[in-house]
């Protein structure tokens, strides 16, 4: 599964699923550009750790995924600092929950911008570089909510369904090239974003955090277990191999049978 010499950008990769993907791609030999939040000291430490352990170059972009110009700048920075661009993983995302009539308009706009539009802007800027090399891998991290819906998540569900549609169009437009585009659809993965939902559920219902965790899982995920960032990373790495060259425009669920119901 060696990706030696390849260059990957992973958005939203300073923690959670994105970090799991970045770590696996780096472990397989890819030079990586991280993107996300964190103090300068934390980011420097993360870069040094990945570079030292995986013996690859690790760059960082603080591009705001709600700003198209900064997304384009991130692509250009990766090519400038790492020499090329082979793999793009669109992972950055935010969440807000509320009934539709109570859903703040600014939260709708922010979630659509970061969870959906950022994917478009990154792909649009990255594709010319991949076409030039006649090879590329685009992986969009969608969600089980890109395939099914849940109450109180109108913006997130809309955005992730949009990501699935975007993935299909890109796959069709690159079908006769060495570039593939697919979407990974995780169910519950224990990330900082999900932990916030668990904490909010515990507070709202006045139950211990562990009880809230079990309720959250079992309400949707029949396995009763979280998927892990490492599992998502392993799938992303596989999609970057030649063995996955004819996996195009599809969704791959890692959801403990959530969407099998």
| pLDDT tens digit at each of 261 positions of the chain | 689 999 999 999 999 999 999 999 999 999 999 999 999 999 999 999 999 999 999 999 999 999 999 999 999 999 999 999 999 999 999 999 999 999 999 999 999 999 999 999 999 999 999 999 999 999 999 999 999 999 999 999 999 999 999 999 999 999 999 999 999 999 999 888 788 889 999 999 999 999 999 998 999 999 999 999 999 999 999 999 999 999 999 999 999 999 999
Residues 111 and 237 in one domain: yes
- State how many domains the chain has: 2
Can 156 be counted among the known catalytic residues? Answer: yes
Residue 178 in any domain: the answer is yes
Residues 211 and 179 in one domain: no
Q: Tokens 């993360």 identify what position?
A: 46
Residue 260 in any domain: the answer is no
Supply 111's token pair: 């979630």
Angstrom CA distances, 228 to 36, 122, 144, 231, stand at: 19, 25, 14, 5
Q: What is the pTM of this model?
A: 0.96
Of 156, 188, 226, 258, which residue is the catalytic one? 156
Q: Residue 199 belongs to what domain range?
A: 188-226
What is the rounded (10 degree) CA torsion for 166, 172, 176, 178? 20
Q: Is the sign of the CA dihedral 213, 114, 255, 101 positive or negative?
A: positive
Residue 259 in any domain: the answer is no
Residues 18 and 87 in one domain: yes
7 within 8 A of 83, measured Cβ to Cβ: yes
132-135: long-range contacts (C-beta < 8 A, 24 or more apart)?
Answer: 133/84, 133/86, 134/177, 134/178, 135/86, 135/178, 135/179
Q: What is the pLDDT of residue 98?
A: 96
Residues 70 and 23 in one domain: yes
Domain CATH number, residue 77: 3.40.50.720
Residue 261 in any domain: the answer is no
Residue 109 in any domain: the answer is yes
């Amino acid at each position: 599964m060696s990706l030696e010499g390849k260059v990957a950008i992973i958005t939203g990769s300073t923690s959670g699923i994105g970090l799991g993907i970045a770590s696996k791609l780096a472990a397989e030999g890819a030079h990586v550009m991280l993107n996300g939040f964190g103090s300068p000291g934390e980011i420097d430490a993360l870069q040094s750790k990945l570079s030292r352990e995986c013996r690859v170059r690790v760059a960082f972009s603080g591009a705001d995924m709600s700003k198209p110009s900064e997304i384009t700048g991130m692509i250009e920075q990766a090519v400038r600092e790492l020499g090329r661009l082979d793999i793009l993983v669109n992972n950055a995302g935010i969440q807000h929950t509320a009934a539709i009539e109570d859903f703040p308009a600014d939260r709708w706009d922010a979630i659509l911008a970061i969870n959906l539009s950022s994917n478009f802007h990154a792909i649009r800027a990255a594709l010319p570089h991949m076409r030039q090399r006649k090879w590329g891998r685009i992986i969009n991290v969608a969600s089980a909510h890109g395939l099914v819906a849940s109450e109180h998540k109108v913006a997130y569900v809309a955005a992730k369904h949009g990501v699935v549609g975007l993935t299909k169009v890109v796959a069709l437009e690159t079908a006769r090239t060495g570039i593939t585009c697919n979407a990974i659809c995780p169910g519950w993965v224990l990330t900082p974003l999900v932990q916030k939902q668990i904490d909010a559920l515990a507070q709202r219902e006045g139950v211990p955090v562990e009880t809230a965790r079990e309720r959250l899982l079992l309400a949707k995920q029949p396995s009763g277990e979280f998927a892990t960032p490492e599992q998502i990373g392993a799938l992303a790495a596989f999609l970057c191999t030649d063995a996955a060259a004819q996996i195009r425009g599809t969704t791959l669920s890692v959801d403990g049978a959530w969407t099998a119901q």
